[in-house]
A and B are shown apart, each in its own frame.
Chain A
Amino acid sequence: MPRVTLIDHGAGNLRSLRAAFERLGAEVEVTADADRVARAERVVLPGVGAAAPAMETLARTGMADALREAPSLLGVCLGMQLLFERSAEGDVACLGLLPGTVERIGWAERLPHMGWNDVVAACPSTLDAALPAVCYFAHSYAVVPGDAAVVAAETEISGRPVPSAVAYGRVAGVQFHPEKSGPAGRRMLEAWLAA
């Protein structure tokens, strides 16, 4: 049975994400304790809310350093954005595990980018088994990677593609909410657990 450590950084709905992994047979531990994160095998960094308070909590608790060493890490929504170097949302330094920044989706017809959209494979990754898919998004910022090789999947927003999944070595992230994306989201989490 896979063990998943879910980071509690104080914002939002952990219950749905936890349930999504439990439905797949995973044993889920929810924690805000850096020591536990340091010992974890598979870590999930969720994210609802804003980048600055989330980074503040991760830094203060020591979880930020533990996350940088995690053997396998999945960032979800804001959690994926925090994997990069810097976010324009609050102009805050993030974890810096992947090269690039997070910028506002200024060109969109409407913001937030809210609803179900296509997730199409880009560079080959472990998530390919679950692609293409239609998944649920709710965000106003998107990542601008410094290296196109980290982009595992893309999604079109008002005529321009943005990265909707990233993967590089032991680090992965999804901009959509797999726990809210029905069977398509379930397949995505399964692919990550199988990697």
Chain B
Amino acid sequence: MLRRRIIPCLDVRGGRLVKGINFESLRDCGDPVDAAERYAAQGADEIVWLNISAGDEDWRGLLEAVERAAVRVDVPLCIGGGVSSVEQARDLLNAGADKVSSNSAPLDRPELIGELADRFGSQCVVVAIDAAADGGGSWSAFASAGRRPTGRDAVAWAAEAADRGAGELLVTSIDTDGTLGGYDIELLRRICAAVGVPVIASGGAGGPRDLASALEAGAQAALAASIFHDGVHTIAEVKQEVARCGLPMRM
């Protein structure tokens, strides 16, 4: 039976792992390859790296780090952040990424999704959707790390992205991200019902129960950052909680 997935997320800048509540107070936390290898050994089903700065120097640093990761990490690696062209995706995949995630560029030019899927296959193409509730029972999609409204309905955008060839959607609630208060379950339910591709839940995990809830709501994978990085919870603890709920996990 296909297992649900637990995915730690690493923020990477210039090939270095960073942590911080806001982008001004980033702290260097070492080599992301060490962290990825450690999480893989602890049972992570996949690793997501988000490149949080897209300057040329940072980009080269990222590619070098991905190359090193491909040699040492034996679970899938998805790289996102600042990917806006077929050439950038090609560079990341050649460096050793298994999937490439993109958020803002497809909102500005939706054709990019089809171009990536035709060239590399849908299984390599993850569209990241940052959504915020608009107060009227729907959600809006945002670009540029949640700063730029696009006027698109997030659920309709999810369906369009899947139709255009996205092989997976990484759905982050801007409202719950960083709160540790749980995912936006209703948003996940709506998007999972609207698409036929796998959905990764993101934004708001405060403990194992939150990841289990997101998976119970229909997400195929749940992503979390701080609960793992801060050593509050291990991947094994999360998996035990999800398994207790009767959902299939790779233990």
- Interface residues of chain A, those whose CB is within 8 Å of chain B, are 11-13, 15-16, 19-20, 48-50, 78, 109-118, 134, 136, 138-140, 156-157, 177, 179-183, 185-186
In the complex, chain B residues whose CB is within 8 Å of the CB of A12: 93-94, 120, 124
In the complex, chain B residues whose CB is within 8 Å of the CB of A180: 74-76, 98
Contacts A114-B167, A136-B75: A16 and B1 contacting too (C-beta < 8 A)? no
A25 shortest CB reach to chain B, Å: 15
Contacts A15-B70, A185-B74: A116 and B5 contacting too (C-beta < 8 A)? yes
Question: Can you list 25 contacts pairing A with B, beta carbon distance less than 8 Å?
Answer: A12-B120, A12-B124, A13-B97, A16-B96, A48-B121, A48-B123, A49-B120, A49-B121, A111-B196, A112-B122, A112-B197, A114-B167, A115-B3, A115-B5, A115-B45, A115-B220, A117-B2, A118-B1, A136-B76, A138-B99, A156-B1, A157-B2, A179-B74, A181-B75, A186-B74
B196, A110: Cβ atoms closer than 8 Å:
yes
Q: Is B72 an interface residue (CB 8 A)?
A: yes
User: How many chain-B residues does the 8 Å CB contact rule pick out?
Assistant: 36
The binding surface of chain A is classed by DSSP as mixed
Complex CA–CA separation, A13 to B120 (angstroms): 10
B250, A111: Cβ atoms closer than 8 Å:
no
- Interface residues of chain B, those whose CB is within 8 Å of chain A, are 1-5, 40, 45, 67, 70-72, 74-76, 93-99, 118-124, 167-168, 196-198, 220-221, 250
Additional 18 contacts, C-beta under 8 A, given A13-B70, A136-B76: A12-B124, A13-B98, A16-B96, A16-B98, A19-B71, A48-B124, A50-B121, A112-B198, A114-B168, A114-B220, A115-B2, A115-B45, A117-B3, A136-B45, A138-B98, A156-B1, A179-B74, A180-B74
Complex CA–CA separation, A63 to B11 (angstroms): 41
Residue of A nearest to B196 (CB): A110
A140 shortest CB reach to chain B, Å: 7
In the complex, chain A residues whose CB is within 8 Å of the CB of B220: 110, 114-115
A127 shortest CB reach to chain B, Å: 18
- Listed from nearest, the 4 A-B pairs whose CB atoms lie closest are A138-B123, A15-B70, A19-B71, A15-B96
